[in-house]
């Protein structure tokens, strides 16, 4: 039937499948037990990070909710930011030994990613790390989440990032089987977050939008506009949430933006970039900094390195999200002004925008750049990058 159409067709074919059930709002953690039952769980591993979910009373509330449904459970805490493979192996062992059939992650992206890795590994005969070296995840125990920080978008995504201790390899895995069957999003749970963590989470969300936005795919107005809408939301709400993490309204807007920024509803049908995430992973693996802080350093540098590849796309970004007046004689000025505004915005929130502020060191640049797996064609899609390019980007971030 193609014959009816003239000209090039630009939007790419795609599939979109986001079956996660979202329960959003105040008090929703009390529904955890009912949701585990609804999605087929009988014996639960509650997975979490440090003591904050205990101190806040969240863990008690979750346990009470499971007890109310007569669901037996085990606990496995100790997930660290940039979650490690060691704890994943421990979780897999525990699930097998105790015949756990449902993983409930209570925490942020690190906890959810660790839970996804356990869920995939528990039903796989080989080493779970295979998935982080490229094998698609086709089977996993069901995972539910109770999100405590909007950032990674893992609550609605089919992705997980884990760091392997030997060699500090930070790698991602994917598959619809690890999409959470439900996610509880209660903005109240973010009220006690440190301001810096709120800022880092916001930077991560903004980066997820930009990784999709900077594309070579033409004629994708609908996803351009949706990305811009989410970005504008962050510009309005993030400063409020950083000033006062207990601003429910700001956190609620950010929480829904964080999910929609990464379940791919705003990214379908277009080539996406993701080089900056790759380049950042080396920073957080080496210095154990927050992922969002690393992105805040890397993204503006990446933008300055690649903007000439499509000045008009960067000008569109500047004009539509930052309200920069278009300079029709010199669109490049508009493009560059947008990059400045982004960097100033992040800086104003207390985020680092240079190596020095992050505690990163110039002498590590070669090691980091050469540690990345470039494959045959390089990383990224907007512009393909090799080690020499990445070194330049790190230098632009000094």
Phi, psi (rounded to 5 degrees) for 244: -145, 95
Question: Is residue 322 within 8 Å of 338, Cβ to Cβ?
Answer: yes
- Minimum separation from the CB atom of position 397 to its own copies (A): 30
Nearer to its own copies, 236 or 308 (CB): 236
Nearer to its own copies, 18 or 216 (CB): 18
Q: Hey, what are 280's tokens?
A: 């950042």
Nearer to its own copies, 77 or 269 (CB): 269
- Minimum separation from the CB atom of position 106 to its own copies (A): 14
Nearer to its own copies, 192 or 348 (CB): 192
Nearer to its own copies, 187 or 380 (CB): 187
- Minimum separation from the CB atom of position 247 to its own copies (A): 8
Question: Is residue 355 within 8 Å of 397, Cβ to Cβ?
Answer: yes
- Helical (H) or strand (E) element with 77: none
Please tell me the distance from the alpha carbon of residue 363 to that of residue 297, in angstroms, as a whole number: 17
Nearer to its own copies, 32 or 76 (CB): 32
Please tell me the distance from the alpha carbon of residue 339 to that of residue 138, in angstroms, as a whole number: 40
Pairing of strands 169-174, 102-107: unpaired
At 237 the three-state DSSP class reads helix
- Minimum separation from the CB atom of position 181 to its own copies (A): 10
**Is the Cα dihedral 381, 383, 387, 393 positive or negative?**
negative
Q: Hey, what are 130's tokens?
A: 């295979």
- Minimum separation from the CB atom of position 25 to its own copies (A): 3
Residues at the contact surface with its own copies, assessed by CB under 8 A: 1-2, 4-28, 56-58, 187-189, 191-192, 218-223, 225-226, 228-230, 232-233, 236-237, 244, 246-249, 252-254, 256-257, 260, 265, 268-269
- Minimum separation from the CB atom of position 274 to its own copies (A): 21
In this structure, what DSSP letter does residue 382 have? S
- Minimum separation from the CB atom of position 23 to its own copies (A): 5
Question: Is residue 332 within 8 Å of 350, Cβ to Cβ?
Answer: no
At 145 the three-state DSSP class reads strand
- Minimum separation from the CB atom of position 59 to its own copies (A): 12
List all residues 6 or more positions away from 1 whose beta carbon is below 8 Å from its beta carbon.
none
Please tell me the distance from the alpha carbon of residue 334 to that of residue 327, in angstroms, as a whole number: 6
- Minimum separation from the CB atom of position 200 to its own copies (A): 19
Nearer to its own copies, 4 or 329 (CB): 4
Q: Hey, what are 268's tokens?
A: 């379908």
Please tell me the distance from the alpha carbon of residue 263 to that of residue 230, in angstroms, as a whole number: 13
Nearer to its own copies, 192 or 377 (CB): 192
Nearer to its own copies, 8 or 166 (CB): 8
Question: Is residue 31 within 8 Å of 190, Cβ to Cβ?
Answer: no
Q: Hey, what are 372's tokens?
A: 């990345």
Question: CA nearest 144: which of 60, 17, 34, 35?
Answer: 35
């Amino acid at each position: 039937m193609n014959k009816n159409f003239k000209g090039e067709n630009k939007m790419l074919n795609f599939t979109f499948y986001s079956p996660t059930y979202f329960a959003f709002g105040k008090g929703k953690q009390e529904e955890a037990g009912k949701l585990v039952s609804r999605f087929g769980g009988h014996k639960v591993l509650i997975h979490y990070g440090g003591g904050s979910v205990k101190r806040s009373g969240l863990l008690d509330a979750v346990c009470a909710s499971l007890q109310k449904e007569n669901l037996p459970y085990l606990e496995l805490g100790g997930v660290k930011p940039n979650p490690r493979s060691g704890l994943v192996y421990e979780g897999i062992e525990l699930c097998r030994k105790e015949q756990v059939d449902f993983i409930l992650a209570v925490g942020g992206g690190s906890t959810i990613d660790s839970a996804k890795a356990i869920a995939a590994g528990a039903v796989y005969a080989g080493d779970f790390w295979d998935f982080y070296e490229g094998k698609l995840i086709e089977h996993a125990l069901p995972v539910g989440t109770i999100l405590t920080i909007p950032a990674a978008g893992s609550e609605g995504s089919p992705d997980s990032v884990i760091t392997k201790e030997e060699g500090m390899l930070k790698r991602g895995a994917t598959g619809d089987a690890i999409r959470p069957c439900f996610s509880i999003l209660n903005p109240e749970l973010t009220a006690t977050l440190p301001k810096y963590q709120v800022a880092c989470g916001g930077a991560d969300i903004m980066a997820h939008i930009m990784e999709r936005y900077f594309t070579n795919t033409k004629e994708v107005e609908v996803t351009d506009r949706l990305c811009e809408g989410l970005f504008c939301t962050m510009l309005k709400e993030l400063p409020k949430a950083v000033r006062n993490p207990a601003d429910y309204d700001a956190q609620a807007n950010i929480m829904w933006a964080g999910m929609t920024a990464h379940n791919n509803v705003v990214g379908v049908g277009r080539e996406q970039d993701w080089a900056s995430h790759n380049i950042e992973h080396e920073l957080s693996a080496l210095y154990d900094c927050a992922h969002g802080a690393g992105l805040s350093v890397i993204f503006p540098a990446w933008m300055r390195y690649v903007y000439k590849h499509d000045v008009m796309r960067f000008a569109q970004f500047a004009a539509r999200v930052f309200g920069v007046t278009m300079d029709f004689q010199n669109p490049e000025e508009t493009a560059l002004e947008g990059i400045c505004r982004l960097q100033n915005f992040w800086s104003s929130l207390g985020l680092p925008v240079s190596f020095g502020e992050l505690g990163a060191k110039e002498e590590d640049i070669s090691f980091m750049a050469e540690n990345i797996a470039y494959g045959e064609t390089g990383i990224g899609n907007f512009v393909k990058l090799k080690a020499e390019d990445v070194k330049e980007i790190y230098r632009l971030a000094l």
